[in-house]
């Protein structure tokens, strides 16, 4: 692999949601993901970027390639210093939204990715880590 193995991207404006999709699309494609998985990963990244923009106003997305036990994957980390999530369990439920959303973002991300870890502290911020593994 001659492609860069990691990178980061600041989310500060609505246009960055579009830009983040492109960054993630390029990274996933370079790693060898097929069109279906690329679309899943890009959709998940889009939802998480949108959440940062809507609830925290700004944040950072890090991406890096994974090489574990002969498996290749892509890890995306979304970090913000926003208000945090009061009830994580509720936030993961389909249809739960504190805003005007449909509450489909986080449950959708869970379905689209192989792994999802959320850490959130009210008043401090939220970190969401998602991973997708390349199928052999």
Ligand X SMILES: Nc1ncnc2c1ncn2[C@@H]1O[C@H](COP(=O)(O)OP(=O)(O)OP(=O)(O)O)[C@@H](O)[C@H]1O
Residues near Mg ion (CB under 5 A): 51, 101, 105
We find the least distance from the C-beta atom of residue 104 to Mg ion, in angstroms, to be: 7
Site pattern 24..63 for ligand X (x: CB under 6 A):
-----------------------x---xx--xx-------
Helices then strands (H, E): number in the chain?
4, 5
CB 31 within 8 A of CB 74: yes
Residue 16 interacts with which of ligand X, Mg ion, none, CB < 5 to 8 Å by class: none
Query: How far apart are alpha carbons 42 and 29 in whole angstroms?
Result: 10
Residue 51 or 65 with smaller CB distance to ligand X: 51
Q: Return the one option of ligand X, Mg ion, none that residue 97 interacts with (CB less than 5 to 8 A, by type).
A: ligand X
43 sits in which H/E element: helix 35-51
Query: What distance in Å separates the CA atoms of residue 33 and residue 45, rounded to the nearest whole number?
Result: 15
């Amino acid at each position: 692999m001659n492609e860069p193995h990691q990178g980061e991207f600041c989310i500060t404006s609505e246009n960055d949601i579009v830009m983040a999709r492109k960054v993630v699309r390029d990274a996933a494609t370079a790693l060898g993901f097929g069109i279906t998985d690329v679309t899943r990963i890009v959709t998940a990244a889009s939802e998480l970027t949108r959440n940062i923009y809507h609830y925290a106003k700004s944040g950072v997305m890090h991406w890096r390639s994974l090489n574990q036990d002969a498996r290749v994957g892509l890890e995306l980390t979304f970090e913000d210093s926003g208000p945090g999530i009061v009830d994580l369990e509720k936030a993961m439920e389909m249809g739960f939204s504190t805003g005007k959303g449909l509450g489909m973002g986080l449950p959708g991300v869970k379905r689209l990715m192989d792994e999802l870890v959320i850490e959130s502290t009210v008043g401090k911020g939220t970190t969401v880590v998602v991973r997708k593994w390349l199928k052999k």
